[in-house]
Structure 1
Amino acid sequence: MENSQFNCNFLTIFCFVLENLCHVLPALPHGSYHCSDGVSEGSRCDYTCASGYQIEGDRSRICMEDGLWSGAEPVCVDVDPPKIQCPTSRVKFAEPEKLTAVVYWGRPQVKDTADGVITRVTLRGPEPGSEFPEGEHVIRYTAYDQAHNRASCKFIVKVQVRRCPILSPPLHGYITCSSAGNNYGANCEYLCEGGYERQGPASRVCLFSQQWAGTPATCTRMKINVNMNSAGGFIDQFFEKQRLLIISAPSSSDRYYRLQSSALQSANCGFEQRQVVVVELVGEEPNEVGRVREQQLSHDLIEQIRQALHMTRSYFNMVLLDKYGVDRERYRDPIGSDEIFTYIDTYLLSSQEMTQLEAKRENCE
């Protein structure tokens, strides 16, 4: 018989054929094979891989007449990427008085057909618990299995800032606000220009409902109380509100007084912008006159102011008080309004007052 060997026992009448057999193929990791005729010559074995794996090498082998298998043993290669599930996208509101929010989330779950649970993942973006500014932020995670198959996912962290309508400053006043000015939790304080007093709430807060608490404040012209029993009471009403320029002269016909009055006549706008009130103490008893704006001061109050500020009625003299009632400068001779303005602008104005002055300077020109 062809491709067979004869082995006969001459002591008997029997004779049988020895066929060529191949060795049993080893098991294929992550796969299997099926043979048409076992390990007999001519048997064909076809390889298949488990789900998620792909054959690399010969897909089938044949048992040859020399007892060897054709080709080489294939391998099943992992081609299935891991399955990764990111946290869900989320929206967070900024915290009170902030434009940011702290956002937390859990690590993504990663499973792989071959490797099971994968714990090593790479984050692209801020860590959980980070402080995120307003806007949308894309967070990406990437994982690899041992065969270097890649899987990735992403989700969005969106930070929203709740805002109230922008407040309008009152006439003859302005507003200073904390944080960004109109975000949730911001506190806005109403302030009035010199010579004006606030009517209404001192401040308002932007609520979560995106509405302002309370009602708007207004600024009304300061009412000067001349019915005071003491110089201290009269001066204290201007505390942190206005500066005082107090003029004392022996009579309305005094040459220095007339020169000073002439110099100040065209300076009312500049004094108002610099929050200065002019007080005049003119004459001697019983004909002395004290006035502030259109109001008259009593003789007793005139005398107390002169004594408190050490101002004589014997000759022209003038004193400039700051908003805290402190004596800042004295004059024995008439002085031009520009010189007074220069001194106030240089030494007495706050940065806020200087900004307001620059914005309104043209109104006096």
Structure 2
Amino acid sequence: MSAKVFMFLLLEAHVFAEIVGLTSEGSGTTYNSHSEVVHEEETYYTPQLDYRKSRWCHTLTLSNGEVSCSSPYGRNLYSSLGSRCELSCDRGYKLLGRPSVQCMASRRWSGTAYCRRVRCHVLPLISHGTYHCPDGTVVDSRCEYMCDPGHQIEGDRLRICQDGGSWSGSEPTCADLEPPKIKCPASKVKVAEPDKLTAKVSWDRPQVSDSAGKSLDLMRVGPESGSVFTEGIHIIRYRVYDQAKNRAACKFSVHIEVKRCPALKPPIHGYLTCSSSKNNYGAVCESHCESGYERQGPATRVCQFNRSWSDEPALCTSMQIKTDVRTAAALLDQFYEKRRLLVVSTPDLGNEYYKLQNIMLQKADCGLDLRHVTVIELLGVQPKEVGRIKGRHLDTQVVEDLRQSLRISTSYFTMVLLDEYGMDRERFVNPASSEELFAHIEDFLLDEDERERLEANREFCD
């Protein structure tokens, strides 16, 4: 055998050994001295190219991906022994397997891989809302959140499935931000009941609703329906809260009107006693006359709905004094508990004290009348003695009896003030001014009610 033939056979054996993996290079399984299996890491090498077999491995393809190969021996030899290919997937796909493979002497690639479509996890449902994903959960698909009626979204309304299989943004919430609706009843105007300053008012419960359709808490500020209201304007407020503590409020007024008649003035020398507030609708006022006066006309008047009084006002006229009595006792009995008496005595009409006092009494006549004082004059001496009341003469025996019972002398000017019970309360031996008389009467003879009525009618004499 020639040397050339020997070298050629040696080279062929070496190549065959490399092809079937009998050389020490490359990767594979070896056994140690104790027959234990030892796995060695795979290493890549660049074998000698057999130009006669450029398609050593099958042409590598990757669905939904891309194969990028390189060969140490140039272009168009990407499936030849020793070629290396990088594997990558299209957007939306994930590579499972080796990212890089090499054409091995076994005519197989050193590994396999495939592209699996990337999907995001199914989104969980949110409270009071939902979402819509028209393209499913693949990469670049969109899910839009929507809230139930009465709720508003807070957070990301739109989420996109990303390359890594996660959703963009974060899970939103559906918040109840819309307040409930409330409608109060219309304001009310009511006239107070007859002879009262109040009225009972009722109303319907406010109308409430909430777009979220949940239970509502209704609160009231003010009296409840069916309460009794006093005169004036009263504000009733309602507040409603939904479960998210959103609030709505409304209010209305209750106006209680008291119809009133013009204020009644008491009759001169009289006073009024009225029910309720004296001049409100339904009030009844009764006229009374002071001591020494008699009522003429209707006793009572009623305030009507049209704000006018019924009937005509009563008058208080002076009591009719009987001067034809025969005794002083009979005369005085007419004034008992009704009138006070001022008895003026003078020896003659020319007495200077009397003339001065008479002038002052004429000017004080109205004021004395307001203070329930009647003047009795005892003029002259026997046998020409005269007694008179408001120009009406008294019997001479009555005059004499008055002088004796009151111990009034005919020798000088005297003035005696008697109270309504006929008691001697003050004596004057000198003329007294109207101010002096009035002050004494007011300080010592008038009660509290008489003082109040006097103040109310004081301007009458002015």
SS at match of 2:344: strand
Aligned-partner Cα distance in 2 for 1:322–1:272: 18
Distance of aligned partners of 1:323 and 1:102 in 2 relative to their CA distance in 1, 3 Å threshold: farther
Deviations 1:63-121 (A, max 9, x none): 22322122211111112211223233222223455545454556645443447332342
Q: Return the alpha-carbon distance in structure 2 between the equivalents of residues 227 and 213 of structure 1.
A: 40
Q: 2:301 aligns with which of 204, 208, 218?
A: 204
DSSP-derived class of the 1:274 partner: helix
Going from structure 1 to structure 2, the CA distance change for 1:4 and 1:283 (only over 3 Å counts) comes to: closer
- Is 1:346 the counterpart of 2:440? The answer is no
The answer to whether the Cα contact below 8 Å between 1:87 and 1:106 also exists between their aligned partners in 2 is yes
Deviation at 1:234, TM superposition (A): 2.5
Who is 1:45 aligned against? 143
Aligned equivalent of 2:342, options 230, 245, 267: 245
CA distance in 2, matches of 1:240, 1:109: 68
Q: Are 1:161 and 2:255 an aligned pair? A: no
CA distance, structure 2, for counterparts of residue 67 and residue 101 of structure 1: 73
Question: Is the Cα contact below 8 Å between 2:356 and 2:431 reproduced in 1?
Answer: no
Aligned equivalent of 2:312? 215
| Residue pair 1:244, 1:279 contacting (<8 A) in 2 also | yes
Q: What percent identity do the matched residue pairs reach?
A: 44
Amino acid at match of 2:152: Q
Aligned equivalents of 1:61 and 1:342: distance in 2? 101
Quote the residue 1:60 is aligned against.
Answer: 158
Q: Deviations over 1:153-178 (max 9, x none)?
A: 111211111122444665x4565464
Of residues 20-29 and 263-272 in structure 1, the stretch that sits farther from structure 2 once superposed is 263-272
Residue in 2 aligned with 1:83?
Answer: 181
The Cα shift of 1:40 comes to 3.0
Q: Which has the larger radius of gyration?
A: 2
Pick from 104, 119, 140 the counterpart of residue 237 of structure 2. Answer: 140
Please name the residue that 1:335 is paired with. 431
Compared CA separation, residues 239 and 203, structure 1 to 2 (3 A): farther
Q: From 276, 280, 295, give the equivalent of 2:392.
A: 295
Determine whether 1:263 maps to 2:351. Answer: no
Residue 12 of structure 2 corresponds to none
CA, structure 1 residues 277+157, in 2 after alignment: closer, same or farther (shift >3 Å)?
same
Distance 2:252 2:438 in 1: 61
Shift of 1:279: 0.9
Q: Determine if the alignment matches structure 1 residue 70 to structure 2 residue 168.
A: yes
Instruction: Output the CA distance in 1 between the equivalents of 2:300 and 2:430.
Output: 43
Q: Equivalent residue for 2:455? A: 355
Paired AA for residue 159 in structure 2 = R
Instruction: List runs of 5+ in structure 1 lacking aligned partners.
Output: none
**Alpha-carbon distance between aligned partners in 2 of 1:108 and 1:47, rounded to the nearest angstrom:** 35
- Contact 1:32-1:48 within 8 A present in 2 as well: yes
SS in 1 for 2:455: helix
Q: Which has the higher contact order (CA 8 A, sep 6+)?
A: 1
2:364 counterpart SS class: helix
CA contact (8 A) 1:239 1:324 kept: yes
Equivalent residue of 1:117, what SS? coil
Secondary structure of the structure 1 residue equivalent to 2:171: coil
Kindly tell me the number of residue pairs found equivalent between the two proteins: 348
Q: 1:229 to 1:312 in 2, by over 3 A?
A: same
How many angstroms apart in 2 are the aligned matches of 1:303 and 1:327?
17
What letter matches 2:387 in structure 1?
G
Counterparts of 1:274 and 1:352, CA distance in 2: 16
Instruction: Provide the TM-score with structure 2 as the length reference.
Output: 0.64
Relative distance call for 1:173 and 1:246 in structure 2 (3 A) is closer
- Measured in 2, the distance between the counterparts of 1:166 and 1:157 equals 26
Whether the 8 Å CA contact 2:189–2:257 is kept in 1: the answer is yes
Question: 2:235 is paired with a residue of what secondary structure?
Answer: strand
Structure 2 alignment gaps of length 5 or more: 1-63, 65-89, 98-107
Structure 2: which amino acid aligns with 1:336?
A
CA RMSD in angstroms, aligned pairs only: 3.6
Aligned-partner SS, 2:459? helix
Distance 1:261 1:236, change over 3 A: farther
Q: TM-score, normalised by structure 1?
A: 0.78
Which residue of 117, 131, 138 maps to 1:33?
A: 131
Which residue in the other structure is 1:22 paired with? 120
Q: Distance in 2 between matches of 1:202 and 1:337?
A: 37
> Structure 2 counterpart of 1:259, which letter?
Y
- Kindly indicate whether residue 278 of structure 2 is the aligned counterpart of residue 184 of structure 1: no
